[in-house]
Structure 1
C-alpha cells in the first residue's frame, strides 16, 4: 500500500513538478503555512519534504530578515512538526548557495568549507546548521539536499533570460570566457527525491549534493539555444581585459555589469553528486545535462 508524503511548498516551481512526478506513486498532500492550523492532522505521513524557501527578490524590496524568516524560522517550525509527527524522513531542500555562490576550483563535495555570500546563501546555511544540531529519534532521518540551479518547463530564472537574449538575435557578449557549471534538470531533481523515498534505508542522515552528471558551459547553453531556435546569432568574443574593465566601471556606475555579476556569469562552479549516487546505487540519471537543457529550452519556445 502506498504511503503518504507531505510536500510543503507545492505552489513553487519545484513543488508543482515534484507533486506531479510522485503523485502516482505515493499519497501526496500539501499544507499551507498561512493556515494557522497547518500543524494539525500531520500524524499519517511517512515523509516530509520541505521546499519552502525564499531565493529571489525581483522587486528589490526584501530585507535580510525576510530571508531568515522564510529560510530559517519556517524551517524550524516545519522540523518541529516533523519531530512531533509519526513521519520517518525529513527531506530539506537547501541550496548550493549555502556552500558557495560564485566559484570553485574543483567539483565541490559535502566536506568542503562553506562560503555563502548573499542573504539567501547565508540563511540557507543557517538553516542547515540548525537542523544538523537537532537531536533525532532513532527512528527518524534527516536528509539535506543541496542542488545547484534547477531548470525545467515553467522555470522563470536566469536561463529564461539568456534564452530571450539569444532567441531575439542579440549576440552574447561574453563568449571569450570559458567556464563550467553544474546544473540539475527538474526531471533529475525529482528522480533523486523519488529514489531517496524508495531507498532511504541506504542513506545516513546528513547533507547530500544532487546535480546532473555532466558539467556544461555557458557557451554550450548558447549553442543549444541556437540549435533549438535554428538561429545563427553571432557571439561576441570581446577581449577579457575590456570586459573586466567595464565590470569595474559598473562597480561605481549604475550599468548592468559589475565585477560580482561578471564573476557569477563566467567562473566555474561545479559540484560532485557521487556521494548520493554511490549510497543509492544510481548509475545513470534519467537525462543528461544536455538533454535536460534541450527540454527546458523547447518549453521556452512553446511559451513564446
Structure 2
C-alpha cells in the first residue's frame, strides 16, 4: 500500500535527499512553515516527518530566540495540527545534541540523562520533552529520532572542511588527537526512515538514537580522503594546547577552525543504535560506516 507522506523542512541537505528517496515508492508532498496555511495539507496524509529546525549559525548572528522558535515553537505548531488530523504517525527529527554535545567515549543510550549545553541542544531537548509529555489520542504515534552527524552528497559540514584541507595538499594538523565518533550516512538515514514508516506498528512511541553501526576514528576519515583524492597526506601534528588556542581565536574572528568545530572533529562521541534496530528487527544497517564516508567523500571530488 502506498503511504501518503508530508515532509516539513525538505529544502535542506537531509530533506532533499530523503524526499528523493521516499518519492520513489510513496506519494510525497513537502511543505514550509513560513505560511501556516500549508499545514492544511496534513489532512491528506497519514505520515508526517518534521525536519524543520535551526542548527548552524556560522556567522554568529542567531539569537537564543531564533533557536527556540525554530526548534521548539514550530514543533508545537506541527504537533497541534497532527493531533487534529487523520495522520497516524509523526516522525520528529531531533538531534543527538539533545542528550550530549561535549563528547562521550561510552556509547550513549536513550536512557541516559540529557546534558545539552548550547541553545541548539537545549531547544531540541525542550521540544522532545514537550512531545513526550503529551497524551496521544488513540491510533496516533510519535517517534522521536536523535541522529548523529548526517553526511552525504550535498553535505557542507565538517567533513567538507577536512576534505578541502587535504585535497589542497595542506598538512593535517590534528593528528595528535585520537578519537572515535558515530556518524550517520544519508543512505542509512533514509533506510531507517523508510523502515520506520513501513514497520511503525512494531515501534513504540518514544525516543530513538540513529547512527551507523560502527564509530569511526578521524584518522580513518583522513585515510579515506587520501585514498579518494590520491593525495599523500602529510601529518603536521601540532600540540593539542596550541590547536585549542588557535580555535579560540576562531570563536571571535572568522577562521576555518573554532572551538565548536574543533570539538566535533577531535572529541569522542560514540552512540548506540541498538534500541531502534531491536524495534525494527534489524541486525545491521545496509551501509557500513566506512563505505558511507567513502561515498560522501567521493561526492565532494565530483562537485
Superposition map of 1:36-51 within 5 A: 36-51=36-51
Say if 1:217 and 1:86 are closer, same or farther in 2 by CA, change over 3 A.
same
Partner of 1:19: 19
Contact 2:51–2:93 under 8 Å retained in 1: yes
CA contact (8 A) 1:99 1:114 kept: yes
Kindly state the Cα deviation for residue 60 of structure 1 after the two structures are TM-superposed: 1.7
Q: Distance in 2 between matches of 1:47 and 1:205?
A: 14
Residue 217 of structure 1, CA deviation: 1.1
Q: Which runs of 5+ in 1 are unaligned?
A: none
Question: Root-mean-square deviation (CA), in Å?
Answer: 1.9
Alignment of 1:185 with 2:188, yes or no, is no
TM-score (norm 1): 0.94
- Asked whether 1:266 is paired with 2:266, we answer yes
* Pair 121,16 (structure 1): closer, same or farther in 2 beyond 3 Å: same
Bigger mean CA offset, 250-259 vs 97-106? 250-259
Match of 2:117 in 1: 117
How far 1:270 moved relative to its partner? 0.9
Structure 1 CA distance for aligned equivalents of residues 248 and 36 of structure 2: 49
- Is 230-239 or 248-257 further displaced after alignment? 248-257
State yes or no: 1:7 paired with 2:7.
yes
> Which residue number corresponds to residue 54 of structure 1?
54
Q: Which blocks of at least 5 consecutive residues in structure 2 are unaligned?
A: none
Tell which deviates more after alignment, 37-46 or 93-102: 37-46
Q: Which residue number corresponds to residue 235 of structure 2?
A: 235
Find the residue that maps to 2:7 and give its secondary structure: strand
Match of 1:282 in 2: 282
Q: 1:134 corresponds to which residue?
A: 134
Distance 1:252 1:48 in 2: 37
Partner Cα separation in structure 1 for residue 172 and residue 67 of structure 2: 32
Instruction: Report the equivalent of 1:297.
Output: 297
Superposed counterparts of 1:15-94, under 5 Å:
15-94=15-94
Q: Look up the match of 1:169.
A: 169
Q: TM-score, normalised by structure 2?
A: 0.94
State how far apart, in whole Å, the 1-side matches of 2:7 and 2:247 are: 44
Q: Report how many aligned residue pairs link the two structures.
A: 302
Equivalent residues of 1:106, 1:270 under 8 A apart: yes
| Rounded Cα–Cα distance in structure 2 between residues aligned with 1:250 and 1:38 | 43
- CA 1:83–1:176 in 2, change beyond 3 Å: closer, same or farther? same
Please state whether the residue corresponding to 2:33 is helix, strand or coil. Answer: coil
- Cα shift at 1:81: 0.9
8 Å contact kept, 2:143–2:207:
yes
- 1:187 CA drift (Å): 0.3
Counterpart of 1:209 in structure 2 is: 209
Alpha carbons of structure 1 residues 14 and 243: separation in structure 2 relative to 1, 3 Å: closer
